[in-house]
Structure 1
Amino acid sequence: MNEYVLRTRGLTKRYKNQLALDSVDLAIRQGAIYGFIGQNGAGKSTLMKLVTGLAFQTSGTIELFGETGEKELIRSRKRMGVAIETPALYPSMTARENLEAHRLQRGIPGKDCIARTLELVGLEGTGRKTARNFSLGMKQRLALGVALLGDPEFLILDEPTNGLDPMGVVEMRELLQKLNRERGITILISSHILSELDLVATYYGIIHRGKLLEQMTAKELREKCRHYLHIKVDEPQRAAAVFERELATSEYEVMADGVIRLYAHLENPARVSRALVESGLEVEQFMPTGEDLESYFTARIGGGKHV
């Protein structure tokens, strides 16, 4: 089995005078839930369209399941499930009829997958209700159901929690984790709800103005966003000795400017402060700090809103 489900090299897309994607090198490993982060217009949907064959790149290459040739990419795309932007649904049809129409269009054998998929996405009880009367959240579920027909190995989902109420967001998250865990489905998911993405993604890619700024694992992100006590004292090296002698920890860093980052004893900062003061050190700054995904993303792109 190929280690990577998707790799792009120098992927570029230009619309007249607008550079939508600028030489993007992206890699998604088999079994990952890849959180794709970027502002509106950053290039997320453009990349998804190129990967799924809904648009064509200006330059660069796309590799799917280890294949790069034109015919091979067409074949590889049959192993994908896709829900990008507005779901391609038939408004006058029921959920069951929508799935059946898509099953026939894609030549998926057998009808057993229809009932199974409806139950999986929580639409088995919608009966004769047509898609035009669905809430936005129900349409999102149906779009996911369409993407899941044919048991795909790779799901590409653009804002799958859009329109869902808080309970629906939780259920969608749990469903995606179940698909990843039990079926081994690799998932590329974009979302502007970064706090939710933070709970599900195992890898991240940050894109800004068409450029892929960074890729990292969830573990690497946690290290970057690690919470700590920001401490500044008159004698940093003496403070380090206090941490090791009085607090029995070496989980700290002394930065170039003399600021100390203490990663231990976050639950009891008063003990840390007391140990420093009792050792005769002058404490100039002392505050808990750290970042979440949203603040890290905002800092990474240079400020501004992310939605």
Structure 2
Amino acid sequence: MNEYVLQTNQLSKKYKNTMALDKVNMTIKRGEIYGFIGQNGAGKSTLIRLICGLAKPTNGKIELFGESNEQELIQARKRIGTIIEGPALYPNMTASENLEAHRLLKGIPGKDCIEKTLTLVGLVDTGKKKAKNFSLGMKQRLGIAIALLGDPEFLILDEPINGLDPMGVVEIRELLKKLNQEYDITILISSHILSELHLLATHYGIIHNGKLIEQMSLKELNDKCQQYLHIKVNDPNKAATVLENHLQTKNFEVMPNGSIKLFEFVDVPGEVSQTLTNQGLVIEEFMPSGEDLETYFSKRIGGVHNG
């Protein structure tokens, strides 16, 4: 079994004089939740449309489940479920009727999948309530239910939490984790709500101006978004000497405003504060800190933009 669900090789898409995608090499392994990050117009939706066969690449290659020629890709795409630019719902139909309509469109035999799928997304008790009267979160879950018809191995979701209230965001997050962990579904999710992606994704890709500028695992991201102790004392120069001589560390940085970032002892902050106090220093500020995904993304985009 191929460990890669998706691989692209030098994938490019040009619209007239605009290069929407520029030589993108993306890899998604089986079992990952891949958070796809980029500003509006960066190329996220274009790439998703190419993967799903809704547009043709100008150059480059797409490989799904190890298959890459045109006929093989048509078959491979039957193993994908998608929500692109919002779920396609029939507003005057119930949840069950929506699934039945899409089941017939997809040519899926048997009605057993409808109740099973509605149960999975928490909509089995909506009865005769029409989709137009659903909350935004319920509509999004119904869209995911439609995408799940046919038991896909790979789920592609374009901005599935956009516009949801906090409770709706939590519901979708927990549902996607369940699909990934209990049903072994690989997920590609694009979102601009980076704080939420950081709670969900196992891997990340950052796209900017059509170029995939970085791919990394959650562990690699956490290593890059390094945690530290933020320290402010009455005498930063003396504090630096104390850190070097008493705690035997040079892994810190004295900032222009006199505060100190200490990249060690994050798990034992009491040892640091006690040592500083014992050496006669007055602690004015002392707290664990670190970058989040949003800060890291802004730095990467800023670096690329300014470079």
- CA 1:211/1:276 → structure 2, altered by over 3 Å: closer, same or farther? same
Question: Compared with structure 1, are the counterparts of its residues 146 and 272 closer, same or farther at alpha carbon in structure 2 (3 Å cutoff)?
Answer: same
Do structure 1's residue 97 and structure 2's residue 101 form an aligned pair?
no
1:274, CA displacement in angstroms?
Answer: 5.3
1:242 equivalent in alignment to 2:246: yes
Aligned to 2:227: 227
| Contact 2:42 2:208 (C-alpha < 8 Å) held by counterparts | yes
What does residue 67 of structure 1 align with?
67
Whole-angstrom CA distance in 1 between matches of 2:9 and 2:62:
7
Partner of 1:108: 108
Q: Give the match for residue 253 of structure 1.
A: 251
> Conserved in 1, the CA contact under 8 Å of 2:157 and 2:189?
yes
Q: Find out whether 1:35 has 2:39 as its counterpart.
A: no
Partner of 2:133 in structure 1? 133
Displacement of 1:234: 6.4
Identity among equivalent positions (%) equals 63
Amino acid at match of 1:48: I
Report the equivalent of 1:181: 181
* TM-score, with length taken from structure 2: 0.86
- 8 Å contact from structure 1 (residues 32, 187) kept in 2: yes
* Structure 2: segments with no counterpart, 5+ residues: none
Cα shift at 1:240: 3.1
2:299 maps to which residue? 299
Q: Which runs of 4+ in 1 moved over 4 A?
A: 234-238, 254-257, 276-283, 285-288
Question: Partner amino acid for 2:164?
Answer: L
TM-aligned CA deviation for residue 199 of structure 1: 0.8
**Structure 1 residues 72, 241: closer, same or farther in 2, change over 3 A?**
farther
Is the deviation greater in 92-101 or in 6-15? 92-101
Extract unaligned runs of 5+ from structure 1: 245-249
Q: Which residue of 2 aligns with 1:190?
A: 190
Residue aligning to 2:269: 268
1:77 equivalent in structure 2: 77
Count of matched residue pairs:
296
Q: Any idea what SS the aligned residue of 2:137 has? A: helix
| 2:164 is aligned with 1:160 | no
Q: Secondary structure at the match of 1:302?
A: helix
| Counterpart-to-counterpart distance in 2, 1:137 and 1:289 | 33
TM (norm. structure 1) is 0.86
Q: How much has 1:286 moved relative to structure 2? A: 7.8
Q: Take 2:27 and 2:17, find their aligned partners in 1: how far apart are those partners? A: 27
Q: How far off is 1:124 after superposition?
A: 1.8
Kept in 1, the 8 Å contact 2:266–2:288? The answer is no
Contact 1:233 1:282 in 2 (8 A): no
- Indicate how the Cα distance of structure 1 residues 172 and 255 shifts in structure 2: closer, same or farther if over 3 A, else same: same
Instruction: Please tell me the root mean square deviation across aligned C-alpha atoms, in Å.
Output: 2.9
State the match for 1:247 in structure 2: none
How far has the Cα of 1:183 moved from its partner? 1.1
Give the CA deviation at 1:225.
Answer: 1.0
Distance of 2:244 and 2:67 partners within structure 1: 53
Structure 1 range deviating more: 125-134 or 111-120: 125-134
SS in 1 for 2:49: helix
Measure, in 1, the Cα distance between the counterparts of 2:59 and 2:9: 9
